[in-house]
Structure 1
Amino acid sequence: MLRLALLTALVMVAFAANSVLNRMALAGSAIGAFEFAAIRLVSGAAILALLVLLRDRNPGALAHGGPIGAAALALYVLGFSIAYLALDAGIGALILFGGVQVTMFAGAVIGGERVPPARVAGAFLALAGLAWLLWPTGVAVPSLLHGGLMALAALGWGLYSLRGRGSRDALGATAGNFLLAAPIALGALLLAPPQDGALTPTPTGIVLALLSGIVTSGLGYALWYRLLPQITASSAALAQLSVPLIAVAGGALLLGEPPTARLWVAAALIIGGIAIGLVGARSAPHAAAAKPARR
């Protein structure tokens, strides 16, 4: 049990590290956003494909991805990278995490899933936190453009997660989607309009992108998929509540990005709303089972 808890904590650190690594590379002008995204996807595809081939000895296992999943993954990675041109690591992770939960909530409603009242209340509270964070008043408000790009990234990751719920081979599907998404990022890099003062990727920027792609994305996702069968879905969702807070701490310690009062209020609303939704949804079946039948 202790080993499972430690490995779960390690994965959460890996997820938060994606925000810190991306922000570190872009804030230090070590690499451009499109270059970072392309290297992240290509290197992630390489390590995931290697893991699948070592496991199955069969290239056919890489065919489990699809165009919809790949497009959603590319939207997430590209929006994520471009957003971090202006967003602090913690703010970006908070927008991403809150947006993913709202996207998956909407997907459940559209799919006809019965949604407990607690989850509805929690989703609205999380949405209020996002609105508070991005509402255009005062100097502490994040860039609305880059916040919107991170919201698009959240839409991409939320759709990707919904798409993958029915996958029989999570690792194979993820590897296949990375392989299909990598050319999209390379195409975006080639087609992106030239920027004034365009950056030449430095060795530091390339290393940070490789770390994000191979370690915190590729290996991090692989470890997460291995742990998921051992824990409940609600426990997995609750564990991810820690990701924005870890990213805030990482941004403060490594990037000199101290959290503002506005960020703490938004974090309390978003994480509190998600927790209410998850705990309420988890307890609802027990309450229904305990309710005596009418005669």
Structure 2
Amino acid sequence: MDSNHSVVKTIFYTSLALLAFAANSVLCRLALGAGAIDAASFTVIRLLSGVIILLVIIKMANHKTSSPLQNGSWFASLMLFLYATAFSFAYITLDTATGALILFGSVQITMVLLSLISGNRLHISEWLGVFIAFAGFVYLMLPEITMPSINGFLLMSLAGIAWGIYTLIGRGANNPLIDTGDNFIRTIPLVLILLVITVKNANYSSEGILLAVLSGGIASGMGYTVWYLALRGLSATQAAAVQLLVPVIAALGGVIFISETITLRLMVSASIMLGGIFLMILGRYKFFSKYKFFK
């Protein structure tokens, strides 16, 4: 019973987190694609609003800590800042689906490689699931799709590497809410530096500010806390693979909110990725749980 309850909680938290990640892609594209705000201002407002919302939630939850910044880490906050900054600047030239695909393709490669380097073993079902899921990713990125700009591709790949590392750090979080809050607070010095460097070229509107606040306070602050909760029930490889669903969700959001087009290739790719992810999850919880390295 406890095991089944844990699986249900993991699925619930993971689903909420993936929706938050996709929302970030859509909100960022809405803000930057329409020129409602510049990338630097979006990043600054996004991270600062995340700090404010998380502090309010922590206060309401009556969490008591002996002193601030005892949880989280400076390295995690650096990865968070690097991800958020590269993410924003990349979306100036990328559409919603392509940006999300590059981001989470980079995330998967980073997390799987680092997991293997750290000595984690993968069962054949996990290898097969990773291969199938990534094959769906590659299929969607074939030449028939509009090729992204080189700058957009490199920036989003950098964002994916930073996010993959941030996710792996989060698997050891003792208190997801406090850890996430502290990580956001630690980005403030870097945010202020970015603000000083870019303030002369700031360009924003009330709509852009609102989108940045929604991205930072809701999709990022709350979404990343839920993601840290989900990571308690996911292996590093699973955490990497399930995030490949984000481009599909983001693409649907782009269709609904930005009038972007959805193609047969996207639908086929989504089906392939879902099959690979399902194989990984099924292999862990049903067929191979008796092996020690799955526990």
Flag whether TM exceeds 0.5 (same fold).
yes
Contact persistence 1:118–1:277 (CA under 8 A): yes
TM value normalised by structure 2: 0.80
- Judging changes above 3 Å, is the alpha-carbon distance between structure 1 residues 132 and 75 closer, same or farther for their aligned structure 2 residues? farther
CA drift at 1:254: 0.8
Residues 126, 270 of structure 1: 8 Å contact kept: yes
Which residue matches 1:52? 58
Work out whether 1:212 is the aligned partner of 2:215.
yes
Give per-residue Cα distances to partners, 1:192-230, cap 9 Å, x unaligned. 598xxx55211110111011111111123334545666x
- Aligned mate of 1:78, from 85, 93, 104: 85
Q: CA–CA distance in 2 between the matches of 1:45 and 1:39? A: 10
Equivalent runs, 1:236-255 vs 2, <5 Å: 237=239, 240=243, 242-255=245-258
Q: What SS is found at the alignment partner of 1:246?
A: helix
Q: Residues 261 and 188 from structure 1, CA distance in 2 versus in 1: closer, same or farther, beyond 3 angstroms?
A: farther
Q: Which residue of structure 2 aligns with residue 144 of structure 1?
A: 150
Q: Larger deviation: 260-269 or 166-175?
A: 260-269
Q: What is the aligned counterpart of 1:180 among 182, 186, 190?
A: 186
Equivalent residue for 1:93, pick from 92, 97, 100: 100
* Separation in structure 1 between the aligned mates of residue 144 and residue 231 of structure 2, nearest angstrom: 42
* Offset of residue 177 of structure 1: 1.1
Task: Report the Cα distance in structure 1 between the residues aligned to 2:258 and 2:218, rounded to whole angstroms.
Answer: 20
- Work out the CA distance in 2 between the residues paired with 1:27 and 1:260: 20
Residue of structure 2 equivalent to 1:233: 234
**Is residue 130–residue 270 contact of structure 1 (8 Å, CA) maintained in 2?**
yes
Tell me which of 25, 29, 41 is aligned to 1:23. 29
Q: Is the 8 A contact 1:133 1:141 kept in 2?
A: no
- Distance in 2 between residues matched to 1:193 and 1:218, nearest whole Å: 24
SS in 2 for 1:30: coil
Structure 2, gaps ≥5 residues long: none
Aligned to 1:62: 69
- Aligned in 2, Cα 1:128/1:157: closer, same or farther, shift over 3 Å? same
Cα deviation, residue 18, structure 1: 0.8
CA distance in 2, matches of 1:39, 1:178: 12
Tell me the percent identity: 39
Number of equivalent positions = 281
CA–CA distance in structure 2, aligned partners of residues 127 and 177 of structure 1: 30
My pick for the range that moved more, 274-283 or 250-259, is 274-283
1:293 corresponding residue in structure 2: none
- In the TM superposition, residue 243 of structure 1 has moved relative to its aligned partner by 2.9
Residue identity matched to 2:223? G
Q: Which whole-Å deviations, capped at 9, do the CAs of 1:124-154 have from their partners, x for residues lacking one?
A: 444455555556x467222232122112111
Q: The residue matched to 1:62 in structure 2 has which SS? A: coil
Are 2:119 and 1:116 aligned?
A: no
User: Could you state the TM-score of these two structures normalised by the residue count of structure 1?
Assistant: 0.80
- Seen in structure 2, the aligned counterparts of structure 1 residues 59 and 208 have a Cα distance that, compared at 3 Å, is farther
